Structure 1
Amino acid sequence: MSSCCNNKHACQAAVPVTEIAACDHDHTGHHDHHQHTHAHPPVPDSTPIPPGAACLRLLVPAMDCPTEGQMIDKALRTQHGVQALAFNYIERTVAVYHAAADEVALLAALAAIGMPATRHGMDAPAPLAAAEPAWLLPLSGVLAALAEGLAFGGHGDASGWVMLPALLSMLLSGRSTLRKSWYALKTVTLNIYFLMTLAVCGAMVLGQWPEAAMVLFLFALSEKLEARALLRAGEAVKALMALRPDRAWLQQDDGWQEVDAASVRVGHIVRVRPGERVPLDGELTFGHSQFNEAPITGESLPLDKGPGDAVFAGAINGGSVVQLRVTAPADGSVLARIIRSVRDAQAGKAATQRFIDRFAARYTPIVVAIALLVALGLPLAGVMGWQAALYKALVLLVIACPCALVIATPVTLVSALAAAARHGMLIKGGAALEAAAHIRTVALDKTGTLTRGEIALTQITHLDPAYDDSRVLALASALEQHSTHPLARAICRAAVTRGITPDSTVLQLNEHAGMGVMAMLGARHIALGNRRLAEQLGVAPARLEALLAPLEAQGEGYVLLLVDAQPVALLHVNDEVRPQAAAAITALKAQGLRVLMLSGDQAAVVRRVAATLVLDEAHGALMPDDKLQRLAANQAHGAVAMVGDGVNDAPALAQADLGIAMGAAGSDTALETAQVALMEDKLEKLPQLFAHARRSMRVLQANIVIALAIKLLFFVLALAGVATLWMAVFADVGASLLVIGNGLRLARARLR
């Protein structure tokens, strides 16, 4: 059986993947982080990382959202040698890619904007940010409510009785906002802190002290609530990180010693006891056990493994003590790559996310300009008094904050990617997830994708009733037991599986290259081979034509067993179609997708498999360039996904709108080349992938509609003079919490 690509080494061209937004391979450790959401305007997309750039990873404890990221971006971009920046808001780190930049100058630039930083090692966990006393915010709320109550009770908004609790409330809850707004002013950055401070100061100038206090309290409360909600988006990633053991039992001269897993090198021997997680990728050298590999492949059923079998870091040893030889360092394991890909998902922004970022970057200054126009233009035109116009402008300033709109995309995408990883689908960023949602055609390779990629005995046709299955396999395995040909191995495996022992009376084996094997069984002459061997032994051509022509037309593999030059059995050997292939293709078609096969195998073989699976199209005998042309022709009618093994299908995976590698857990190339890596050889994950991607995009679109609708509603209410400052803040908080909660639903999604 021919392979779909005859030159596997030549086909390993790398598929372009999104640059990783952090110093590569420095993604270890467990973290707990404070994070909030106001990203106004958002930080521009990260610049592609220049080849050969040095990487300096900085911990910035005060950076917990893109608002601070924008100020850091402004401060560092102007420094000599800085080429690109990548932000990780969950861990509060900045990866600075540079060419001979002065580290001292970089740290000084950050300190000047209130963002002191320190060098952060690869394995160092991010320390917790200093938390304010828990009683400060509740007390601020009580004082703000007291000021409102006194104002409603008849005291003037600007009376001393009202001003005192209002001022105390603002001092308790507004210090962080005021400090950050000062640094925003210094860096000429129009962000939420500056806008909120401006609105509060304006309210105080207008004598609206109770409202100023309530606005600051609600804003501080929103940050706390959003921080807690957003932490859940990082929980899925932290749950993955928790699967990787920090310690390993290493074999030493004097026995076994528990060491840091990161210190274990390739080739070392480690021991894993029952109930423990495998600390590093390796190959079993001693013992048999069952391993739960759900964290890597999504397969919940334990797998039996013994010496020579590969095991992955994070798998649970459920049986007995085993030993393994380490095959990859801690930061190079399959699990580490999965964690790294999910944690750095923000590097691959979806088109929707890039659009929202650009929209938000323009939305804020436009609304601020309208606010200025309202504050100055309406009074000058005689439409409204100065005080009323200024108040309306302050409300518009609060509405200018696109919190919910900006946070809608990253929360939704990270939740969706983490859920997919939990089910054995490694999707490399939001761009790949969005591409999966828009696929219209799925192209599949045959060998190793739709089929097992391994020749197997599928059927025995009896031509002489004296020779049943057992007798046929006993003779055939005796003839083939010393051969390394794939057909011979398939026959011997079938005999072993059925418990049939090769006939030991078969003697004088004589192999005929390109035809088969002949031997003696007592006084009888037996042979096992193809049409040419049968013709040489004198079998009538008409009989051979009747027996073999239908099989050859369908591309089926076979061998003939002959006794004294008479055919007694026909053994059918083929690359078996995967048992779940038919159901997976039916499910794909039910989703409205076209399914086709592109293979380098013989056209007759491809037709047979296509007929079995009822594909929309099937093309065989394709060279790699032919596959690319077929893909391009289908791309003219919509987005195309190519599914292959990630090795010999690399050019096609690159050409397709979405490259999907099957069975990537054991393949370094597959993990690196494809945009989506299915960790198991399970075709049923394909319809799950596309259904999950479409659902994720529906949730994302719903979040955007919610955020825009609420902003539009309050924009109209503000212009109509109905919305108040505290209502605008409350609406912003509500919208943010709504989109966060809606997006987090995807983190709990069960892919079926």
Structure 2
Amino acid sequence: MVKDVNKHCHCDSHDNHQKQKNNHNHNLHDHNHSHDHTEVKEHQHGDDCCSSKPQSLTELSESKTIDGFQLTQIRIMQMDCPVEENIIRKKLGEMKAVKELHFNLIQRVLTVTHRPDALDSILAVIRQLDFEPEIYNKNDKSPQSVEHKKQYWLLILASLAAILAEITHFMKFPWWVQLILALIAVAACGIKTYKKGWISIRNFDLNINALMSIAVTGALILGQWPEAAMVMVLFNIAELIEAKSLDRARNAISSLMNLTPNTTMVQQQDGSWQETEVSSVKINDIIKIKPGERIGLDGIITHGQTTINQAPITGESLPIDKSKGDQIFAGTINETGLFEYSVTSLANDSTIARIIHAVEEAQANRAPIQRFVDRFSRIYTPTVLLIALIIAILPPMLHFGTWSEWIYKALIMLVIACPCALVISTPITIVSGLTLAARRGILVKGGVYLELGRQLKYLALDKTGTITHGKPIQTNQVIYGELDPNQGFTLAASLANNSNHPISQAVAKAASDLTLYTVEQFEEVVGKGIKGVVQGQIYYLGNLRLTNEIISCDEAIKKQVEQFENQGKTVILLNNGQQILGLFAIADTIKDSSQEAINELHQLGVKTVMLTGDNASTAQAIAKEVGIDEARGNQLPQDKYDVIVKYSRQGTTGMVGDGINDAPALAAARIGFAMGSLGTDTAIETADVALMDDDLRKIPEFIRLSKRTHNVIIQNISFALGIKLVFLVLTFIGMGTMWMAVFADVGASLLVVANGLRLLKN
């Protein structure tokens, strides 16, 4: 049986989510926060399938083979609504060669996992359903809208015929004149509706086309010719408007790709410059950018300096100065200088391309409220159909009216029975929220996280790079014993130079003018420091905890350490396993935005806790300055993990960080935030929410966006159900007409689409 990732999703509980997130292989020495978002063949009880994704973000359009099965993305431009999804799912689900199906209605993309020899058969089946499938090209910048111009003249003809039918009915023309005009109107614009409706009925799935076909045919049989004609015309006009409205949501995402130019100036082998298609540029090509131009590809500046506006990606308003050796990104704007840069990634693998693909794919990661609406809609339509059948048969059998009167009411009920407005009420809003977040430099990896944001009660933060700039400098050094001060400093710097930790880099940078020793058998001691062998002697460089494990620290040195820590500085000690050789104090500066961000979080009702491997005194000093509720120092990876688990029992908990000590805690948190993810492949691929710059204020902004998105979803569900309910009541009391039913169905759809798109204007 084909696995349908949209249907079989039982992941509403926190426990399931927690189990899924904790199922990673989190070795404490591994700093990769890697959530597994790939599809699996079977779901064990309690697994979280809502985080499943059909493919890697960087391989969206290419067919790819997994365990002997091929994964192909197919764009179906006529697939607008769950009714089309149901028909395709039923037909492809019968094929033994098809393993998995994943539908993205907003982007009109079907992802199929199938046997390699079955693609032609799959496309043929889709064509039999009167759809036009094409292999999805992720590099296509063209608008994702269906061509409607060919339909216009037929719709105009149908409208004129329907209006004339109404006029002739009002002026008491012969019945056959009204009938002919009505048939002309229905034939001109309704053939496609009837064709889709027949396919639906043949596949035992009564979608809106089938319901409308039955209702219009019933009205014609009952002699309601002008009304039948006008209902079909209004339905087609409304469908056209709805399709155009949905195109706005689709193009809101794809328009991000238009931030990059189509061409750029590339240096040729003879030194000349030639305008070249961005898609044809290769890695290591040299590109020249003039002031005011948009950058087409990611790269490294090789000549010149300038100021870059990175707002299209990061949302940050202030331009950034760039010079030789600095990284630049596609979609950003060169404001001042002329410069040249070397290309580091192809057009389809640029940072902006990965962001777009991540937003598109995030739609698969459905929010709980969206899954609830989908389940409810599957109950809603059969229920209304049953009521319509009862209305058509029972009252006239009990002599409460004529058969034609109650059959007419039942036909109205058929039109109202379609749940399109209800089903699209949530995804259209989620897509708008995801797109708005991406525009502001917040990459949210699914509707589930966008909804969870409003529920955040606790937020744990790493210190270095999150609250502070993450660029500490060495402020003090003390060399003990008979060791030459220069030699002691060189030993420490030699060890530190082998580590990427900001504290180690501060020591190494301070010794940039010294000739360093060769270090052998270098090793990171997680949460404590580093060690290595220099000229046959082992040396340790780390915090007081590491030092106490190796050698006894006398009181005089402890007092010096305490003195520096009370100043908010981090202290590391150098020892050779026999005696302490030196002390190095490092200070990091707090970001200007950190205090404001913490204040905003508190206003939103979020309690903050800082978890750092730094000493307790430094942690308390920084927490007090910034306004953090709780600070915990000397935190090992397991300690951070335990804190997250503790708070998770009390409410939705998030974790911000990206260091070697953060991986288990990030995995345990309900939402894992990665700071400063611009240009970082791993963060874009694996974080639940990736902040494209290092501004902590984006987290309260994300929470506010989550609240607004949820409010709009509730409004849309209320609109969709409320309008239907009103017209159901009107039908029961005899005041409803088929005209009203059409407005109730398609009008509700237009309303929820317009309301969902309203988020994009914020």
TM-score by length of 2: 0.79
Question: Does residue 254 of structure 1 match 2:270?
Answer: yes
Aligned in 2, Cα 1:317/1:380: closer, same or farther, shift over 3 Å?
same
Letter paired with 1:189: D
Q: Please give the residue correspondences for 1:654-693 in structure 2 after superposition, counting only pairs within 5 Å.
A: 654-693=667-706
Question: Does residue 137 of structure 1 match 2:155?
Answer: yes
Question: Does residue 588 of structure 1 match 2:588?
Answer: no
2:317 corresponds to which residue? Answer: 300
Q: Please give the residue correspondences for 1:493-508 in structure 2 after superposition, counting only pairs within 5 Å.
A: none
Give CA deviations for 1:51-98 in whole Å, capped at 9, x if unaligned: 663123334343343322222222222223211223344554433211
Aligned in 2, Cα 1:96/1:213: closer, same or farther, shift over 3 Å?
same
8 Å CA contact retained: 1:456, 1:576: no
Question: Does residue 741 of structure 1 match 2:741?
Answer: no
The CA distance in 2 between the partners of 1:74 and 1:139, in whole Å, is 36
Letter paired with 2:70: A
Q: Which of the residues 581, 604, 609 maps onto 2:622?
A: 609
Question: Does residue 208 of structure 1 match 2:242?
Answer: no
Aligned in 2, Cα 1:638/1:584: closer, same or farther, shift over 3 Å?
same
Give the superposed CA RMSD. Answer: 3.6
Equivalent pairs counted in the alignment come to 661
2:587 corresponds to which residue? Answer: 574
8 Å CA contact retained: 1:441, 1:595: yes
1:16 corresponds to which residue? Answer: 36
Give CA deviations for 1:180-211 in whole Å, capped at 9, x if unaligned: 11211222221000001011111111111111
Q: CA deviation at 1:661?
A: 0.7
Aligned in 2, Cα 1:9/1:542: closer, same or farther, shift over 3 Å?
closer
Q: CA deviation at 1:130?
A: 5.8
**SS in structure 1 opposite 2:96?**
coil
Give CA deviations for 1:631-680 in whole Å, capped at 9, x if unaligned: 11111111111111276523222211111111011322211221110000
8 Å CA contact retained: 1:23, 1:95: no
**SS in structure 1 opposite 2:113?**
strand
Give CA deviations for 1:124-176 in whole Å, capped at 9, x if unaligned: 557853632533323422322332233233457xx113212222211222122
Q: Which of the residues 659, 664, 675 maps onto 1:651?
A: 664
2:393 corresponds to which residue? Answer: 376
Q: Which of the residues 695, 702, 723 maps onto 2:715?
A: 702
**SS in structure 2 opposite 1:87?**
strand
Question: Does residue 437 of structure 1 match 2:432?
Answer: no
Q: CA deviation at 1:21?
A: 5.3
The CA distance in 1 between the partners of 2:145 and 2:252, in whole Å, is 19
TM-score by length of 1: 0.80
**SS in structure 2 opposite 1:102?**
helix
Q: Please give the residue correspondences for 1:190-209 in structure 2 after superposition, counting only pairs within 5 Å.
A: 190-209=206-225
Letter paired with 2:99: Q
Q: Please give the residue correspondences for 1:6-45 in structure 2 after superposition, counting only pairs within 5 Å.
A: 10-17=30-37, 18-20=51-53, 25=58
Letter paired with 1:238: S
Aligned in 2, Cα 1:104/1:162: closer, same or farther, shift over 3 Å?
same
The CA distance in 2 between the partners of 1:487 and 1:121, in whole Å, is 45
Identical aligned residues as a percent: 41
8 Å CA contact retained: 2:570, 2:614: no
Letter paired with 1:339: I
**SS in structure 1 opposite 2:678?**
helix
The CA distance in 1 between the partners of 2:280 and 2:69, in whole Å, is 27
Query: Which region of structure 1 is more displaced relative to structure 2, 183-192 or 572-581?
Result: 572-581
1:468 corresponds to which residue? Answer: none
Aligned in 2, Cα 1:620/1:495: closer, same or farther, shift over 3 Å?
closer
Q: CA deviation at 1:220?
A: 0.6
The CA distance in 2 between the partners of 1:213 and 1:617, in whole Å, is 69
The CA distance in 1 between the partners of 2:200 and 2:641, in whole Å, is 51
Unpaired stretches in structure 2, ≥5 consecutive residues: 1-25, 38-50, 478-484, 497-501, 517-528, 530-542, 545-553, 574-582
Query: Which region of structure 1 is more displaced relative to structure 2, 583-592 or 61-70?
Result: 61-70
**SS in structure 1 opposite 2:73?**
strand
Query: Which region of structure 1 is more displaced relative to structure 2, 321-330 or 582-591?
Result: 321-330
The CA distance in 1 between the partners of 2:558 and 2:459, in whole Å, is 38
The CA distance in 2 between the partners of 1:147 and 1:219, in whole Å, is 17
8 Å CA contact retained: 1:425, 1:677: yes
8 Å CA contact retained: 1:449, 1:681: yes
The CA distance in 1 between the partners of 2:321 and 2:99, in whole Å, is 50
Q: Which of the residues 429, 437, 443 maps onto 1:412?
A: 429
Aligned in 2, Cα 1:301/1:556: closer, same or farther, shift over 3 Å?
closer
The CA distance in 1 between the partners of 2:332 and 2:651, in whole Å, is 39
Q: CA deviation at 1:699?
A: 0.8
Question: Does residue 426 of structure 1 match 2:426?
Answer: no
Aligned in 2, Cα 1:683/1:354: closer, same or farther, shift over 3 Å?
same
Question: Does residue 149 of structure 1 match 2:167?
Answer: yes
The CA distance in 2 between the partners of 1:743 and 1:153, in whole Å, is 43
1:618 corresponds to which residue? Answer: 631
Letter paired with 2:228: A
Letter paired with 1:151: H
Unpaired stretches in structure 1, ≥5 consecutive residues: 1-5, 30-48, 461-474, 497-501, 515-529, 532-540, 561-569
Give CA deviations for 1:287-336 in whole Å, capped at 9, x if unaligned: 11111111211123221111111111111122333222222222222111
**SS in structure 2 opposite 1:660?**
strand
Q: CA deviation at 1:28?
A: 8.4
Aligned in 2, Cα 1:592/1:90: closer, same or farther, shift over 3 Å?
closer
